[in-house]
């Protein structure tokens, strides 16, 4: 990796603020390694030009080595920007077009991080797990419709798409990760109600488990998993689940491990045919945008996932170590966005 090309999509709200710090840290840990290309996409571009993600831009993005994304989306309830326009037209479009089947979302409770969990629940225990969320199927496919919209007879459907191909590849990925970690994999679903998709997920999970006799497996219904995440998150090593359950469980996972400002993610294209994309789990946080107070740590940690993906694990570990040292030193003190970025950049340099 002499010069890798990274597309930078800051996006909306705090997206550009946290992304600037992420790029700052990436440049500090690996000077002269990356060529950054900025893409002006998001709410402002749409308001100005009516474009969300032009085909020509999508074509260009296909050829970069990785994408660093901030966040997209307007304030919930915005009148100027329809809900879903940017989420579906930009973020999900990239995940689908570039076949980001593996949505990796690690959670680690670093020492000294304030957690809403009672001290007795985490003291002396390791909370360090990763959610492997399916990224290209489920209820996210836009497979639905509506009739008689606006009337008392309105009917709307959203149909979840689950293919054996899609489930098998994410489950196999999760088994491999569990094998390389502490050897435990938990499947989250709701097969007591969603019997069709549930049967498919269960079969894939059971069949692939036979290839990984050294991995211990268990299953939790998604509702019970919400309890487990709050009363004993140390029980988890690797979690595998579908697209929507994975979206929900990773916000909770973030909350119990120090907050959404720390949660990183990778959208991985398993074949390497398309660029993978690295982004914080959080959104554009319109409530704090422009104030310089967004925590850039999640965006910065996402750059560690990017470095891992591009075959530079030693640089990735340097970012992880700097992040954990900085969090410990901060001890819950609230610092500004650029302050945190500067501190972590100085540590990795
Ligand atoms: P959000 O994640 O933007 O914000 C939820 C809460 O977390 C807010 O109180 C916010 O201030 C706080 N928060 C988020 N990031 C933070 C950070 N780095 N530091 C400190 N606090 C932080 O979720 P939302 O409010 O539901 O969504 C806002 C917009 O973002 C919506 O348009 C939504 O669709 C979009 N969204 C985008 C992504 C993405 O681009 N990946 C992810 C989630 C939501
Ligand atoms: C996330 C976000 C997205 C998702 C939205 C904005 C499409 O919530 O990355 O977690 O649901 O995947
Ligand atoms: Mn989400």
The ipTM estimated for the assembled molecules is: 0.99
Question: What's the farthest any 2 CA atoms get from each other in the chain?
Answer: 61
**Interval between CA 71 and ligand 1 midpoint (Å):** 8
The ligand with the least distance to the CA atom of 293 is 1
Query: What pLDDT is stored for residue 1 in this prediction?
Result: 54
Does residue 30 line the site of ligand 1, with CB under 6 A? no
The ligand with the least distance to the CA atom of 283 is 1
The ligand with the least distance to the CA atom of 103 is 2
Q: Tell the residue nearest (CA) to atom 25 of ligand 1.
A: 285
Residue ranges matching CATH 3.40.718.10 in the chain = 1-100+264-349, 115-257
**Interval between CA 246 and ligand 1 midpoint (Å):** 16
Which atom of ligand 2 is least distant from the CA of 95?
A: 12
Which burial class, exposed, middle or buried, applies to 111 when counting CB atoms under 10 A from its CB (0-12, 13-18, 19+)? exposed
Homologous superfamily (CATH) of 115-257 is Isopropylmalate Dehydrogenase (3.40.718.10)
110 included as an active-site residue: no
251 included as an active-site residue: yes
Q: Give me the average pLDDT of each 10-residue run along the chain (349 residues).
A: 88 98 98 97 97 98 98 92 96 98 96 86 91 98 97 98 98 98 98 98 98 98 97 97 98 96 98 98 98 98 98 98 93 92 97
Query: What pLDDT is stored for residue 2 in this prediction?
Result: 60
Closest C-alpha among 285, 279, 252 to residue 265: 279
The topology (CATH level 3) of 1-100+264-349 is Isopropylmalate Dehydrogenase (3.40.718)
Would you say 268 and 58 are in contact if contact means Cβ atoms under 8 Å apart? no
The structure's pTM equals: 0.97
214 included as an active-site residue: no
Would you say 221 and 190 are in contact if contact means Cβ atoms under 8 Å apart? yes
Question: Annotated catalytic residue: which of 173, 247, 295, 320?
Answer: 247
Paired strand residues for 277: 67, 267
Would you say 326 and 343 are in contact if contact means Cβ atoms under 8 Å apart? yes
Does residue 70 line the site of ligand 1, with CB under 6 A? no
190 included as an active-site residue: yes
d(CA 138, CA 140): 5
Strands 102-108 and 264-268: antiparallel
Query: What tokens appear for 157 in the block?
Result: 């459907």
Number of H helices, E strands in the chain: 13, 12
**Interval between CA 247 and ligand 3 midpoint (Å):** 5
């Amino acid at each position: 990796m002499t010069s890798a090309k990274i597309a930078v999509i800051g996006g909306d709200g705090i997206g550009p603020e946290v992304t600037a710090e992420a790029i700052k840290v990436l440049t500090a840990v690996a000077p002269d390694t990356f060529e950054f290309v900025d893409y002006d996409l998001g709410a402002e571009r749409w308001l100005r030009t009516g474009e969300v993600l032009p085909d020509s831009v999508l074509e260009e993005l296909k050829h970069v080595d990785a994408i660093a994304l901030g966040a997209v989306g307007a304030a919930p309830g915005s009148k100027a920007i329809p809900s879903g326009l940017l989420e579906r037209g930009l973020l999900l479009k990239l995940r689908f077009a570039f076949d980001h089947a593996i949505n990796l979302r690690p959670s680690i409770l670093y020492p000294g991080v304030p957690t809403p969990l009672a001290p007795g629940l985490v003291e002396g225990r390791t909370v360090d797990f990763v959610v492997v969320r399916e990224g290209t199927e489920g209820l996210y496919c836009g497979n639905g419709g509506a009739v008689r919209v606006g009337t008392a007879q309105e009917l709307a459907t959203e149909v979840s798409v689950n293919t054996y191909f899609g489930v098998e590849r994410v489950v196999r990925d999760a088994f491999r990760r569990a094998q390389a970690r502490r050897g435990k994999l938990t499947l989250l679903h709701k097969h007591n109600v969603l019997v069709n998709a549930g049967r498919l997920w269960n079969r894939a999970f059971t069949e692939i488990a036979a290839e990984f006799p050294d991995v211990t497996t268990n299953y939790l219904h998604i509702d019970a998993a919400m309890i487990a995440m709050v009363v004993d998150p140390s029980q988890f090593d690797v979690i595998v689940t579908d697209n929507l359950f994975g979206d929900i469980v990773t916000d909770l996972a973030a909350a119990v491990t120090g907050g959404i400002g720390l949660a990183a993610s990778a959208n991985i294209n398993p074949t390497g045919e398309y660029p993978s994309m690295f982004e914080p789990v959080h959104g554009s946080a319109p409530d704090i945008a422009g104030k310089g107070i967004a925590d850039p740590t999640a965006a910065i940690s996402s750059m560690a996932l990017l470095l891992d993906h591009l075959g530079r694990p030693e640089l990735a570990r340097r970012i992880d170590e700097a992040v954990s040292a900085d969090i410990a030193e901060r001890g819950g003190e609230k610092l500004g966005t650029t302050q945190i970025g500067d501190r972590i950049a100085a540590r990795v340099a």
